[in-house]
Amino acid sequence: MILPSLAEARSPLWRPIKYSLFPPLGLATLASYLDDSDEVELVDQHVEDLKLDDEPDLVIIQVYITNAHRAYKIASHYRQMGCYVVMGGLHVTSLPEEAAIYADTICLGPGEDTFPQFLNDFRNNCPKPKYVSIHRSLTGVPPIRRDLIKRHLYLVPNSIVVTRGCPFHCDFCYKDAFFKGGKSFYTQQVDEALMEIDRLPGSHLYFLDDHLLGNQKFAAGLFEGMKGMNRVFQAAGTVDSILRGNLIEKAADAGLRSLFVGFETFSPQNLKQSNKKQNLKKDYEAAVKRLHDLGIMINGSFVFGLDDDGPDVFKRTVDWGVKNAITTSTYHILTPYPGTALYENMKAQNRIKTTNWDLYDTRHVVYETVNITPEELEYGYNWAYKEFYSWSNVLKSSLNHDSVKHVLKHFMYTAGWKKMEPIWKLIINSGMLNQMLPVLEAILSKVRNEKKSKLDNARLITIPSHS
Which uninterrupted H or E stretch holds 225? helix 216-226
If we measure between CA atoms, which residue out of 19, 113, 4 comes closest to residue 60? Answer: 4
Which pLDDT score is estimated for 454?
45
Report the pLDDT averaged over residues 133-141: 91
Whether the pLDDT of residue 453 is over 80: the answer is no
Which pLDDT score is estimated for 269?
79
Residues 2-132: name the CATH superfamily.
Cobalamin-binding domain (3.40.50.280)
If we measure between CA atoms, which residue out of 65, 90, 87 comes closest to residue 74? Answer: 87
Contact 113, 133 (CB under 8 A): yes
Domain spans of the chain, in order of start: 2-132, 164-443
What does 116-151 look like in DSSP terms, one character per residue? Answer: HHHHHHHHTT---SEEE--S---TTPPPP-GGGS-G
Whether the pLDDT of residue 445 is over 90: the answer is no
Report the pLDDT averaged over residues 204-209: 96
Based on the number of CB atoms within 10 Å of its own CB, is 341 exposed (0-12), middle (13-18) or buried (19 or more)? middle
- The helix/strand/coil state of 330 is strand
Which pLDDT score is estimated for 14?
77
Q: Which phi and psi angles does 115 have, rounded to 5°?
A: -65, -45
Q: Which phi and psi angles does 178 have, rounded to 5°?
A: -65, -35
- Cα–Cα distance for residue pair 49/68, rounded to 1 Å: 18
Which pLDDT score is estimated for 467?
33
Give the model confidence (pLDDT) of 73-109 as tens digits.
999 999 999 999 999 999 999 999 999 999 999 999 9
Contact 223, 254 (CB under 8 A): yes
Give the model confidence (pLDDT) of 18-47 as tens digits.
889 999 999 999 999 999 999 999 999 999
Whether the pLDDT of residue 366 is over 80: the answer is yes
Which pLDDT score is estimated for 153?
94
Question: CA torsion sign, 421 to 423 to 424 to 425?
Answer: positive
Strands 43-44 and 58-62: unpaired
* Percent of the chain topping pLDDT 90: 79
Whether the pLDDT of residue 164 is over 80: the answer is yes
Question: In angstroms, what CA-CA distances link 53 with 74, 146, 461?
Answer: 12, 25, 74
Which pLDDT score is estimated for 271?
73
CA dihedral 160, 165, 167, 173 (to 10 degrees): 120
Name which residue leads in pLDDT, 453 or 349.
349
Whether the pLDDT of residue 274 is over 60: the answer is yes
Based on the number of CB atoms within 10 Å of its own CB, is 292 exposed (0-12), middle (13-18) or buried (19 or more)? buried
Q: Give domain 164-443's CATH architecture.
A: Alpha-Beta Horseshoe (3.80)
- Cα–Cα distance for residue pair 354/173, rounded to 1 Å: 19
Report the pLDDT averaged over residues 294-323: 95
Whether the pLDDT of residue 182 is over 60: the answer is yes
Q: Which phi and psi angles does 446 have, rounded to 5°?
A: -65, 135
Identify each DSSP E strand in 126-247 by its residue range. Answer: 130-132, 159-160, 163-165, 185-187, 204-207, 232-237
Confidence of residue 54 (pLDDT cuts 50, 70, 90): very high
Rg, C-alpha atoms of the chain: 23
Report the pLDDT averaged over residues 250-260: 97
Give the model confidence (pLDDT) of 376-391 as tens digits.
999 999 999 999 999 9
Angle at the Cα of 290 from the Cα atoms of 285 and 295, rounded to 5 degrees? 120
Confidence of residue 278 (pLDDT cuts 50, 70, 90): low
- Cα–Cα distance for residue pair 235/257, rounded to 1 Å: 9
- The helix/strand/coil state of 277 is helix
Whether the pLDDT of residue 219 is over 90: the answer is yes
- Cα–Cα distance for residue pair 75/154, rounded to 1 Å: 26
Average pLDDT, the chain: 91
